[in-house]
Structure 1
Protein backbone atom coordinates (compact mmCIF):
# COMPACT_ATOMS: atom_id res chain seq x y z
CA UNK A 1 0.00 0.00 0.00
CA UNK A 2 1.13 3.52 -0.82
CA UNK A 3 -0.28 6.96 -0.12
CA UNK A 4 -0.44 10.16 -2.10
CA UNK A 5 -1.11 13.53 -0.47
CA UNK A 6 -4.26 14.84 -2.16
CA UNK A 7 -6.16 17.97 -1.09
CA UNK A 8 -4.65 17.72 2.40
CA UNK A 9 -5.48 14.00 2.75
CA UNK A 10 -3.26 10.92 2.50
CA UNK A 11 -5.08 8.90 -0.17
CA UNK A 12 -4.20 5.20 0.10
CA UNK A 13 -3.83 3.08 -3.01
CA UNK A 14 -2.44 -0.13 -4.48
CA UNK A 15 -0.20 0.11 -7.55
CA UNK A 16 0.16 -3.31 -9.19
CA UNK A 17 1.34 -4.55 -12.57
CA UNK A 18 3.41 -3.00 -15.32
CA UNK A 19 1.52 -3.78 -18.50
CA UNK A 20 1.35 -1.67 -21.62
CA UNK A 21 -0.68 1.50 -21.87
CA UNK A 22 -1.70 4.14 -19.33
CA UNK A 23 -2.60 3.25 -15.73
CA UNK A 24 -6.06 1.87 -15.06
CA UNK A 25 -7.33 3.78 -12.01
CA UNK A 26 -10.07 1.89 -10.11
CA UNK A 27 -12.59 3.62 -7.81
CA UNK A 28 -14.62 1.45 -5.41
CA UNK A 29 -18.24 1.84 -4.37
CA UNK A 30 -20.10 2.39 -1.10
CA UNK A 31 -18.87 0.50 1.98
CA UNK A 32 -15.84 -0.79 0.07
CA UNK A 33 -12.17 0.14 -0.46
CA UNK A 34 -9.27 -0.80 -2.71
CA UNK A 35 -9.48 -4.43 -1.52
CA UNK A 36 -12.80 -4.96 -3.32
CA UNK A 37 -10.97 -5.36 -6.65
CA UNK A 38 -8.96 -8.39 -5.47
CA UNK A 39 -10.86 -10.90 -7.64
CA UNK A 40 -9.84 -9.15 -10.87
CA UNK A 41 -6.35 -7.88 -10.04
CA UNK A 42 -4.72 -11.08 -11.36
CA UNK A 43 -6.25 -11.01 -14.86
CA UNK A 44 -6.01 -7.23 -15.20
CA UNK A 45 -2.41 -6.86 -14.05
CA UNK A 46 -1.18 -9.42 -16.57
CA UNK A 47 -1.78 -6.75 -19.20
CA UNK A 48 -2.18 -3.43 -17.38
CA UNK A 49 -0.81 -1.35 -14.56
CA UNK A 50 -3.69 -1.12 -12.09
CA UNK A 51 -3.98 1.62 -9.48
CA UNK A 52 -6.79 0.94 -6.99
CA UNK A 53 -7.58 3.84 -4.66
CA UNK A 54 -9.39 4.08 -1.34
CA UNK A 55 -11.54 7.19 -1.18
CA UNK A 56 -11.38 9.70 1.66
CA UNK A 57 -12.63 8.21 4.98
CA UNK A 58 -12.62 4.59 3.76
CA UNK A 59 -10.27 1.82 4.93
CA UNK A 60 -7.40 1.97 5.90
CA UNK A 61 -8.78 5.02 7.72
CA UNK A 62 -11.27 4.22 10.49
CA UNK A 63 -13.54 7.26 10.35
CA UNK A 64 -15.99 8.20 13.09
CA UNK A 65 -18.62 9.54 10.67
CA UNK A 66 -18.32 13.09 11.99
CA UNK A 67 -17.72 16.14 9.81
CA UNK A 68 -18.58 17.48 6.38
CA UNK A 69 -15.63 16.16 4.34
CA UNK A 70 -17.48 13.10 3.01
CA UNK A 71 -19.35 13.92 -0.18
CA UNK A 72 -19.52 13.17 -3.88
CA UNK A 73 -18.06 16.62 -4.55
CA UNK A 74 -15.07 15.99 -2.26
CA UNK A 75 -14.42 12.56 -3.72
CA UNK A 76 -14.58 13.92 -7.27
CA UNK A 77 -12.05 16.61 -6.33
CA UNK A 78 -9.82 13.99 -4.69
CA UNK A 79 -9.87 11.55 -7.61
CA UNK A 80 -9.23 14.39 -10.06
CA UNK A 81 -6.23 15.62 -8.08
CA UNK A 82 -4.97 12.06 -7.61
CA UNK A 83 -4.96 11.47 -11.38
CA UNK A 84 -3.23 14.79 -11.98
CA UNK A 85 -0.40 13.77 -9.66
CA UNK A 86 -0.24 10.12 -10.74
CA UNK A 87 0.41 10.43 -14.46
CA UNK A 88 1.67 12.82 -17.13
CA UNK A 89 -0.72 11.32 -19.69
CA UNK A 90 -4.46 10.55 -19.75
CA UNK A 91 -5.39 7.46 -17.73
CA UNK A 92 -8.15 4.87 -18.01
CA UNK A 93 -10.69 5.26 -15.20
CA UNK A 94 -13.00 2.51 -13.87
CA UNK A 95 -15.58 3.00 -11.15
CA UNK A 96 -18.16 0.71 -9.56
CA UNK A 97 -21.45 1.86 -8.00
CA UNK A 98 -20.71 5.04 -6.01
CA UNK A 99 -17.26 4.96 -7.60
CA UNK A 100 -18.97 4.86 -10.99
CA UNK A 101 -20.84 8.05 -10.14
CA UNK A 102 -17.60 9.70 -9.04
CA UNK A 103 -15.82 8.53 -12.20
CA UNK A 104 -18.68 9.89 -14.34
CA UNK A 105 -18.35 13.32 -12.70
CA UNK A 106 -14.56 13.29 -13.16
CA UNK A 107 -15.09 12.58 -16.87
CA UNK A 108 -17.72 15.30 -17.07
CA UNK A 109 -15.45 17.94 -15.51
CA UNK A 110 -11.99 16.83 -16.62
CA UNK A 111 -12.31 14.60 -19.63
CA UNK A 112 -8.84 15.75 -20.69
CA UNK A 113 -7.39 13.57 -17.90
CA UNK A 114 -8.95 10.38 -19.29
CA UNK A 115 -8.41 8.07 -22.26
CA UNK A 116 -11.20 5.54 -21.57
CA UNK A 117 -14.01 5.36 -18.98
CA UNK A 118 -15.55 2.18 -17.50
CA UNK A 119 -18.72 2.56 -15.43
CA UNK A 120 -19.75 -0.63 -13.62
CA UNK A 121 -23.37 -0.04 -12.61
CA UNK A 122 -22.85 3.61 -11.60
CA UNK A 123 -24.82 4.62 -8.53
CA UNK A 124 -27.28 7.46 -8.48
CA UNK A 125 -30.69 8.59 -9.61
CA UNK A 126 -32.07 9.98 -12.87
CA UNK A 127 -33.77 13.36 -13.17
CA UNK A 128 -36.89 14.09 -15.22
CA UNK A 129 -34.90 14.52 -18.44
CA UNK A 130 -33.92 10.83 -18.33
CA UNK A 131 -36.78 9.31 -16.35
CA UNK A 132 -40.40 10.02 -17.33
CA UNK A 133 -41.48 8.56 -13.97
CA UNK A 134 -39.26 10.94 -11.97
CA UNK A 135 -40.68 12.20 -8.68
CA UNK A 136 -39.08 14.90 -6.56
CA UNK A 137 -37.97 14.03 -3.05
CA UNK A 138 -35.88 11.27 -1.43
CA UNK A 139 -35.59 8.09 -3.47
CA UNK A 140 -36.26 4.63 -1.99
CA UNK A 141 -32.50 4.02 -2.09
CA UNK A 142 -31.82 7.20 -0.09
CA UNK A 143 -34.42 6.16 2.48
CA UNK A 144 -32.79 2.73 2.81
CA UNK A 145 -29.34 4.29 3.28
CA UNK A 146 -30.72 6.62 5.97
CA UNK A 147 -32.32 3.73 7.87
CA UNK A 148 -29.15 1.62 7.69
CA UNK A 149 -26.96 4.55 8.74
CA UNK A 150 -29.19 5.21 11.74
CA UNK A 151 -28.60 1.67 12.98
CA UNK A 152 -24.84 1.95 12.41
CA UNK A 153 -24.66 5.30 14.24
CA UNK A 154 -26.51 3.69 17.19
CA UNK A 155 -23.89 0.93 17.36
CA UNK A 156 -25.77 -1.82 15.54
CA UNK A 157 -23.22 -2.14 12.74
CA UNK A 158 -24.21 -5.60 11.53
CA UNK A 159 -27.90 -4.70 11.69
CA UNK A 160 -27.34 -1.63 9.55
CA UNK A 161 -25.21 -3.51 7.05
CA UNK A 162 -27.78 -6.31 6.83
CA UNK A 163 -30.52 -3.78 6.11
CA UNK A 164 -28.45 -2.12 3.38
CA UNK A 165 -27.12 -5.24 1.67
CA UNK A 166 -30.44 -7.10 1.79
CA UNK A 167 -32.09 -4.06 0.25
CA UNK A 168 -29.51 -4.03 -2.52
CA UNK A 169 -29.04 -7.75 -3.17
CA UNK A 170 -32.23 -9.33 -1.84
CA UNK A 171 -33.39 -10.84 1.45
CA UNK A 172 -30.75 -12.96 3.16
CA UNK A 173 -27.81 -11.51 1.21
CA UNK A 174 -25.91 -10.38 4.32
CA UNK A 175 -26.16 -13.82 5.94
CA UNK A 176 -24.80 -15.45 2.76
CA UNK A 177 -21.70 -13.26 2.55
CA UNK A 178 -18.40 -14.90 3.53
CA UNK A 179 -16.63 -13.64 6.64
CA UNK A 180 -14.01 -11.70 4.65
CA UNK A 181 -16.68 -9.74 2.76
CA UNK A 182 -18.56 -8.96 5.97
CA UNK A 183 -15.38 -7.65 7.60
CA UNK A 184 -14.57 -5.41 4.64
CA UNK A 185 -18.05 -3.89 4.91
CA UNK A 186 -17.70 -3.46 8.68
CA UNK A 187 -14.38 -1.68 8.16
CA UNK A 188 -16.23 0.96 6.12
CA UNK A 189 -19.61 0.98 7.88
CA UNK A 190 -19.39 4.55 9.21
CA UNK A 191 -19.04 5.95 5.69
CA UNK A 192 -22.74 5.19 5.25
CA UNK A 193 -23.41 7.85 7.89
CA UNK A 194 -21.58 10.35 5.72
CA UNK A 195 -23.52 9.22 2.68
CA UNK A 196 -26.79 10.41 4.23
CA UNK A 197 -25.40 13.95 3.90
CA UNK A 198 -24.04 13.39 0.41
CA UNK A 199 -26.38 15.62 -1.62
CA UNK A 200 -25.59 13.52 -4.68
CA UNK A 201 -26.89 15.21 -7.82
CA UNK A 202 -29.07 13.13 -10.14
CA UNK A 203 -27.93 12.30 -13.66
CA UNK A 204 -29.46 14.43 -16.40
CA UNK A 205 -29.58 14.02 -20.15
CA UNK A 206 -27.29 17.03 -20.49
CA UNK A 207 -24.81 15.38 -18.09
CA UNK A 208 -24.76 12.20 -20.16
CA UNK A 209 -24.41 14.04 -23.46
CA UNK A 210 -21.47 16.02 -22.06
CA UNK A 211 -19.26 12.92 -21.72
CA UNK A 212 -16.76 12.92 -24.58
CA UNK A 213 -14.53 10.08 -23.36
CA UNK A 214 -15.09 6.62 -24.95
CA UNK A 215 -17.26 4.86 -22.36
CA UNK A 216 -18.14 1.29 -21.44
CA UNK A 217 -21.08 0.62 -19.12
CA UNK A 218 -21.03 -2.86 -17.64
CA UNK A 219 -23.58 -4.52 -15.39
CA UNK A 220 -25.04 -7.67 -13.95
CA UNK A 221 -27.94 -9.07 -15.97
CA UNK A 222 -29.76 -10.04 -12.75
CA UNK A 223 -29.31 -6.79 -10.81
CA UNK A 224 -32.56 -5.61 -9.22
CA UNK A 225 -34.02 -2.18 -8.55
CA UNK A 226 -33.24 1.11 -10.26
CA UNK A 227 -29.54 0.48 -10.94
CA UNK A 228 -30.07 -1.15 -14.38
CA UNK A 229 -32.42 1.70 -15.33
CA UNK A 230 -29.65 4.21 -14.62
CA UNK A 231 -27.11 2.18 -16.60
CA UNK A 232 -29.29 1.89 -19.70
CA UNK A 233 -30.35 5.55 -19.61
CA UNK A 234 -26.74 6.69 -19.48
CA UNK A 235 -25.71 4.23 -22.20
CA UNK A 236 -28.43 5.61 -24.46
CA UNK A 237 -27.26 9.21 -24.13
CA UNK A 238 -23.48 9.16 -23.61
CA UNK A 239 -22.12 9.64 -27.14
CA UNK A 240 -20.85 6.37 -28.66
CA UNK A 241 -21.17 4.50 -25.34
CA UNK A 242 -21.09 0.70 -25.27
CA UNK A 243 -23.07 -1.42 -22.79
CA UNK A 244 -22.38 -5.01 -21.74
CA UNK A 245 -24.42 -7.13 -19.31
CA UNK A 246 -22.92 -10.25 -17.72
CA UNK A 247 -25.42 -13.14 -17.48
CA UNK A 248 -26.06 -14.67 -14.09
CA UNK A 249 -24.58 -11.81 -12.07
CA UNK A 250 -25.81 -8.93 -9.92
CA UNK A 251 -24.32 -5.67 -8.65
CA UNK A 252 -20.90 -7.10 -7.61
CA UNK A 253 -20.54 -8.60 -11.08
CA UNK A 254 -16.72 -8.43 -11.11
CA UNK A 255 -16.59 -10.68 -8.03
CA UNK A 256 -19.18 -13.13 -9.38
CA UNK A 257 -17.72 -13.48 -12.90
CA UNK A 258 -14.19 -12.06 -12.71
CA UNK A 259 -12.84 -13.71 -15.84
CA UNK A 260 -15.69 -12.52 -18.08
CA UNK A 261 -15.62 -9.06 -16.52
CA UNK A 262 -11.90 -8.72 -17.25
CA UNK A 263 -12.33 -9.97 -20.82
CA UNK A 264 -14.93 -7.29 -21.50
CA UNK A 265 -12.94 -4.50 -19.85
CA UNK A 266 -9.59 -5.40 -21.45
CA UNK A 267 -11.21 -5.71 -24.88
CA UNK A 268 -12.70 -2.25 -24.50
CA UNK A 269 -9.47 -0.68 -23.23
CA UNK A 270 -7.59 -2.17 -26.19
CA UNK A 271 -10.07 -0.81 -28.73
Structure 2
Protein backbone atom coordinates (compact mmCIF):
# COMPACT_ATOMS: atom_id res chain seq x y z
CA UNK A 1 0.00 0.00 0.00
CA UNK A 2 1.29 3.43 -0.93
CA UNK A 3 0.32 6.48 1.09
CA UNK A 4 -0.76 8.30 -2.06
CA UNK A 5 -3.76 5.91 -2.06
CA UNK A 6 -4.79 6.95 1.46
CA UNK A 7 -7.53 9.57 1.75
CA UNK A 8 -9.36 11.41 4.49
CA UNK A 9 -13.06 11.89 5.14
CA UNK A 10 -14.96 14.74 6.84
CA UNK A 11 -16.86 12.25 9.04
CA UNK A 12 -13.61 11.76 10.98
CA UNK A 13 -14.09 15.40 12.02
CA UNK A 14 -17.75 14.81 12.94
CA UNK A 15 -19.16 16.21 9.68
CA UNK A 16 -22.22 14.08 8.88
CA UNK A 17 -25.41 14.13 6.82
CA UNK A 18 -27.62 13.08 9.75
CA UNK A 19 -29.63 16.02 11.20
CA UNK A 20 -28.67 16.73 14.80
CA UNK A 21 -25.56 14.55 14.61
CA UNK A 22 -23.43 17.04 16.49
CA UNK A 23 -21.39 20.22 16.15
CA UNK A 24 -20.28 20.68 12.55
CA UNK A 25 -16.80 22.05 11.85
CA UNK A 26 -16.16 24.38 8.92
CA UNK A 27 -14.60 23.13 5.69
CA UNK A 28 -11.62 25.41 6.21
CA UNK A 29 -10.79 23.83 9.55
CA UNK A 30 -11.32 20.25 8.35
CA UNK A 31 -9.45 20.63 5.07
CA UNK A 32 -6.71 22.65 6.72
CA UNK A 33 -6.11 19.95 9.30
CA UNK A 34 -6.06 17.30 6.58
CA UNK A 35 -3.35 19.27 4.81
CA UNK A 36 -1.35 19.64 8.02
CA UNK A 37 -1.41 15.85 8.44
CA UNK A 38 -0.09 15.29 4.92
CA UNK A 39 -3.35 13.88 3.57
CA UNK A 40 -3.57 14.53 -0.16
CA UNK A 41 -7.08 13.31 -1.06
CA UNK A 42 -10.53 13.21 0.51
CA UNK A 43 -14.11 12.16 0.04
CA UNK A 44 -16.55 15.06 -0.30
CA UNK A 45 -18.56 14.75 2.89
CA UNK A 46 -22.30 15.43 3.03
CA UNK A 47 -24.22 17.80 0.77
CA UNK A 48 -23.68 21.37 1.88
CA UNK A 49 -20.24 20.81 3.40
CA UNK A 50 -18.38 21.82 0.23
CA UNK A 51 -19.68 24.25 -2.41
CA UNK A 52 -22.46 22.82 -4.55
CA UNK A 53 -21.05 23.88 -7.92
CA UNK A 54 -18.61 21.17 -9.07
CA UNK A 55 -15.97 23.65 -10.23
CA UNK A 56 -16.17 25.49 -6.91
CA UNK A 57 -16.00 22.20 -5.05
CA UNK A 58 -12.87 21.15 -6.92
CA UNK A 59 -11.33 24.59 -6.41
CA UNK A 60 -11.98 24.44 -2.66
CA UNK A 61 -10.19 21.11 -2.40
CA UNK A 62 -7.35 22.26 -4.64
CA UNK A 63 -6.79 25.28 -2.40
CA UNK A 64 -5.77 22.82 0.32
CA UNK A 65 -3.79 20.53 -1.99
CA UNK A 66 -6.46 17.82 -1.93
CA UNK A 67 -7.72 15.55 -4.71
CA UNK A 68 -11.38 14.54 -4.91
CA UNK A 69 -11.91 10.82 -4.33
CA UNK A 70 -15.71 10.75 -4.50
CA UNK A 71 -18.33 10.53 -1.86
CA UNK A 72 -20.92 8.71 0.21
CA UNK A 73 -24.41 8.94 -1.27
CA UNK A 74 -27.35 7.42 0.67
CA UNK A 75 -30.21 6.76 -1.75
CA UNK A 76 -33.54 4.93 -1.62
CA UNK A 77 -33.12 1.90 -3.86
CA UNK A 78 -35.96 -0.41 -2.81
CA UNK A 79 -39.09 1.56 -3.73
CA UNK A 80 -40.58 0.33 -7.06
CA UNK A 81 -42.39 3.67 -7.46
CA UNK A 82 -39.19 5.72 -7.11
CA UNK A 83 -36.50 5.75 -9.78
CA UNK A 84 -33.13 6.72 -8.25
CA UNK A 85 -31.22 6.95 -11.54
CA UNK A 86 -32.11 10.55 -12.54
CA UNK A 87 -30.95 11.81 -9.14
CA UNK A 88 -27.78 9.75 -9.38
CA UNK A 89 -27.11 11.02 -12.90
CA UNK A 90 -26.98 14.59 -11.56
CA UNK A 91 -24.61 13.44 -8.83
CA UNK A 92 -22.40 11.66 -11.36
CA UNK A 93 -22.11 14.77 -13.48
CA UNK A 94 -20.90 16.72 -10.47
CA UNK A 95 -18.40 13.96 -9.63
CA UNK A 96 -16.97 14.08 -13.15
CA UNK A 97 -16.65 17.86 -13.05
CA UNK A 98 -14.83 17.70 -9.72
CA UNK A 99 -12.48 14.93 -10.89
CA UNK A 100 -13.83 12.26 -8.53
CA UNK A 101 -13.92 8.61 -9.55
CA UNK A 102 -15.82 6.66 -6.87
CA UNK A 103 -19.51 6.69 -6.00
CA UNK A 104 -20.17 5.14 -2.58
CA UNK A 105 -23.84 4.16 -2.36
CA UNK A 106 -25.79 3.20 0.73
CA UNK A 107 -29.21 1.55 0.60
CA UNK A 108 -31.10 4.26 2.48
CA UNK A 109 -34.24 3.21 4.35
CA UNK A 110 -35.89 6.59 3.79
CA UNK A 111 -35.89 7.14 7.56
CA UNK A 112 -33.78 9.72 9.38
CA UNK A 113 -30.49 8.55 10.83
CA UNK A 114 -29.08 5.07 11.35
CA UNK A 115 -30.72 3.94 14.59
CA UNK A 116 -33.71 2.22 12.98
CA UNK A 117 -34.08 0.14 9.84
CA UNK A 118 -36.57 -1.75 7.69
CA UNK A 119 -36.86 -5.38 6.58
CA UNK A 120 -37.43 -5.78 2.86
CA UNK A 121 -39.92 -8.06 1.16
CA UNK A 122 -39.08 -9.87 -2.07
CA UNK A 123 -40.34 -7.01 -4.24
CA UNK A 124 -38.15 -4.57 -2.33
CA UNK A 125 -35.10 -6.80 -2.74
CA UNK A 126 -35.71 -7.31 -6.46
CA UNK A 127 -36.03 -3.55 -6.94
CA UNK A 128 -32.94 -2.78 -4.85
CA UNK A 129 -30.71 -5.26 -6.68
CA UNK A 130 -31.90 -4.13 -10.10
CA UNK A 131 -31.29 -0.50 -9.20
CA UNK A 132 -27.77 -1.27 -8.02
CA UNK A 133 -26.92 -2.70 -11.44
CA UNK A 134 -28.63 0.18 -13.24
CA UNK A 135 -26.66 2.72 -11.21
CA UNK A 136 -23.45 0.78 -11.75
CA UNK A 137 -23.99 0.93 -15.51
CA UNK A 138 -24.84 4.63 -15.39
CA UNK A 139 -21.70 5.37 -13.39
CA UNK A 140 -19.52 3.38 -15.78
CA UNK A 141 -20.78 5.48 -18.68
CA UNK A 142 -19.29 8.48 -16.86
CA UNK A 143 -16.03 6.69 -16.10
CA UNK A 144 -16.95 6.38 -12.42
CA UNK A 145 -16.95 3.25 -10.28
CA UNK A 146 -20.12 2.75 -8.26
CA UNK A 147 -19.83 0.71 -5.06
CA UNK A 148 -22.32 -0.42 -2.44
CA UNK A 149 -21.44 0.37 1.17
CA UNK A 150 -22.88 -2.06 3.74
CA UNK A 151 -23.82 0.35 6.52
CA UNK A 152 -25.46 0.15 9.93
CA UNK A 153 -29.07 1.34 9.81
CA UNK A 154 -29.46 0.76 6.07
CA UNK A 155 -31.05 -2.08 4.15
CA UNK A 156 -27.69 -3.76 3.58
CA UNK A 157 -26.09 -4.11 7.00
CA UNK A 158 -25.98 -7.72 8.12
CA UNK A 159 -24.10 -10.71 6.73
CA UNK A 160 -27.01 -12.32 4.84
CA UNK A 161 -27.82 -8.96 3.24
CA UNK A 162 -24.25 -8.51 2.08
CA UNK A 163 -24.34 -12.02 0.62
CA UNK A 164 -27.57 -11.27 -1.18
CA UNK A 165 -25.99 -8.24 -2.85
CA UNK A 166 -22.95 -10.27 -3.87
CA UNK A 167 -25.12 -13.03 -5.33
CA UNK A 168 -27.88 -10.90 -6.84
CA UNK A 169 -26.06 -7.96 -8.39
CA UNK A 170 -22.84 -7.11 -10.20
CA UNK A 171 -21.97 -3.99 -8.19
CA UNK A 172 -18.66 -4.05 -6.28
CA UNK A 173 -18.48 -3.29 -2.58
CA UNK A 174 -17.01 -0.55 -0.49
CA UNK A 175 -15.30 -2.59 2.23
CA UNK A 176 -16.04 -0.59 5.35
CA UNK A 177 -14.18 -2.47 8.06
CA UNK A 178 -16.20 -0.93 10.88
CA UNK A 179 -19.75 -1.14 9.58
CA UNK A 180 -19.21 -4.71 8.42
CA UNK A 181 -17.96 -5.78 11.85
CA UNK A 182 -20.85 -4.05 13.61
CA UNK A 183 -23.29 -5.74 11.23
CA UNK A 184 -21.86 -9.17 11.98
CA UNK A 185 -19.54 -9.72 8.99
CA UNK A 186 -15.83 -10.36 9.48
CA UNK A 187 -14.28 -7.76 7.15
CA UNK A 188 -11.00 -9.65 6.94
CA UNK A 189 -12.74 -12.84 5.89
CA UNK A 190 -14.77 -10.95 3.30
CA UNK A 191 -11.59 -9.36 1.92
CA UNK A 192 -10.04 -12.80 1.56
CA UNK A 193 -13.14 -14.45 0.09
CA UNK A 194 -14.20 -11.93 -2.56
CA UNK A 195 -11.31 -9.51 -3.22
CA UNK A 196 -12.44 -9.13 -6.81
CA UNK A 197 -15.72 -7.56 -5.66
CA UNK A 198 -14.02 -4.88 -3.55
CA UNK A 199 -13.41 -1.59 -5.37
CA UNK A 200 -13.13 0.86 -2.47
CA UNK A 201 -12.16 0.62 1.20
CA UNK A 202 -13.12 2.58 4.30
CA UNK A 203 -10.67 1.81 7.08
CA UNK A 204 -12.27 2.00 10.51
CA UNK A 205 -11.18 0.49 13.78
CA UNK A 206 -13.86 -0.44 16.30
CA UNK A 207 -14.29 -1.27 19.96
CA UNK A 208 -15.84 -4.74 19.68
CA UNK A 209 -17.71 -4.37 22.97
CA UNK A 210 -19.69 -1.39 21.75
CA UNK A 211 -20.19 -3.09 18.38
CA UNK A 212 -21.76 -6.08 20.12
CA UNK A 213 -24.14 -3.83 22.08
CA UNK A 214 -25.30 -2.19 18.85
CA UNK A 215 -25.66 -5.56 17.12
CA UNK A 216 -27.84 -6.88 19.95
CA UNK A 217 -29.97 -3.74 20.00
CA UNK A 218 -28.85 -2.78 23.51
CA UNK A 219 -27.37 0.54 22.41
CA UNK A 220 -28.19 2.78 19.47
CA UNK A 221 -25.59 3.36 16.81
CA UNK A 222 -25.54 7.08 17.56
CA UNK A 223 -24.96 6.53 21.27
CA UNK A 224 -22.14 4.08 20.55
CA UNK A 225 -20.42 6.57 18.25
CA UNK A 226 -20.77 9.30 20.86
CA UNK A 227 -19.17 7.01 23.47
CA UNK A 228 -16.16 6.29 21.27
CA UNK A 229 -16.98 3.06 19.44
CA UNK A 230 -14.67 4.10 16.62
CA UNK A 231 -11.00 4.08 17.51
CA UNK A 232 -7.86 5.33 15.73
CA UNK A 233 -6.51 2.70 13.37
CA UNK A 234 -4.57 0.07 15.28
CA UNK A 235 -6.26 0.91 18.59
CA UNK A 236 -9.41 -1.21 18.24
CA UNK A 237 -10.41 -4.79 17.52
CA UNK A 238 -10.30 -4.82 13.70
CA UNK A 239 -7.30 -6.48 12.05
CA UNK A 240 -6.53 -3.49 9.83
CA UNK A 241 -3.04 -4.75 8.95
CA UNK A 242 -4.36 -8.17 7.95
CA UNK A 243 -7.10 -6.65 5.80
CA UNK A 244 -4.70 -4.32 3.98
CA UNK A 245 -2.30 -7.21 3.45
CA UNK A 246 -5.07 -9.42 2.04
CA UNK A 247 -6.32 -6.74 -0.34
CA UNK A 248 -2.87 -5.77 -1.57
CA UNK A 249 -1.95 -9.41 -2.05
CA UNK A 250 -5.06 -9.88 -4.20
CA UNK A 251 -4.15 -6.95 -6.43
CA UNK A 252 -6.36 -4.26 -4.95
CA UNK A 253 -5.26 -0.82 -6.16
CA UNK A 254 -8.13 1.35 -4.98
CA UNK A 255 -8.39 3.96 -2.26
CA UNK A 256 -8.07 3.46 1.47
CA UNK A 257 -10.22 6.11 3.16
CA UNK A 258 -9.53 6.66 6.86
CA UNK A 259 -12.76 7.02 8.81
CA UNK A 260 -13.28 7.24 12.53
CA UNK A 261 -16.85 8.52 12.82
CA UNK A 262 -17.18 10.92 15.71
CA UNK A 263 -19.76 13.22 17.28
CA UNK A 264 -18.66 16.61 18.58
CA UNK A 265 -20.43 18.57 21.30
CA UNK A 266 -18.63 21.82 20.53
CA UNK A 267 -15.71 23.48 18.76
CA UNK A 268 -12.38 21.95 19.85
CA UNK A 269 -9.45 24.21 20.62
CA UNK A 270 -7.14 24.74 17.63
CA UNK A 271 -4.86 21.77 17.08
CA UNK A 272 -6.96 19.48 19.28
CA UNK A 273 -10.02 17.27 18.85
CA UNK A 274 -10.58 14.81 15.99
CA UNK A 275 -7.28 15.73 14.36
CA UNK A 276 -5.47 13.89 17.18
CA UNK A 277 -7.17 10.58 16.33
CA UNK A 278 -6.61 11.04 12.59
CA UNK A 279 -2.95 11.78 13.27
CA UNK A 280 -2.64 8.44 15.08
CA UNK A 281 -4.32 6.66 12.16
CA UNK A 282 -1.97 8.27 9.65
CA UNK A 283 1.01 7.21 11.78
CA UNK A 284 -0.34 3.65 11.93
CA UNK A 285 -0.67 3.43 8.14
CA UNK A 286 2.81 4.86 7.69
CA UNK A 287 4.04 2.09 9.95
CA UNK A 288 2.30 -0.50 7.77
CA UNK A 289 3.96 0.97 4.70
CA UNK A 290 7.40 0.79 6.31
CA UNK A 291 6.72 -2.80 7.39
CA UNK A 292 5.69 -3.80 3.87
CA UNK A 293 8.85 -2.26 2.43
CA UNK A 294 10.88 -4.19 4.97
CA UNK A 295 9.20 -7.44 3.93
CA UNK A 296 9.84 -6.68 0.28
CA UNK A 297 13.50 -6.15 0.96
CA UNK A 298 13.87 -9.26 3.13
Q: TM-score range by the shorter chain?
A: 0.3 to 0.5
TM norm structure 2: 0.34
So what's the TM-score if we normalise by structure 1? 0.36
Whose Rg is larger?
2
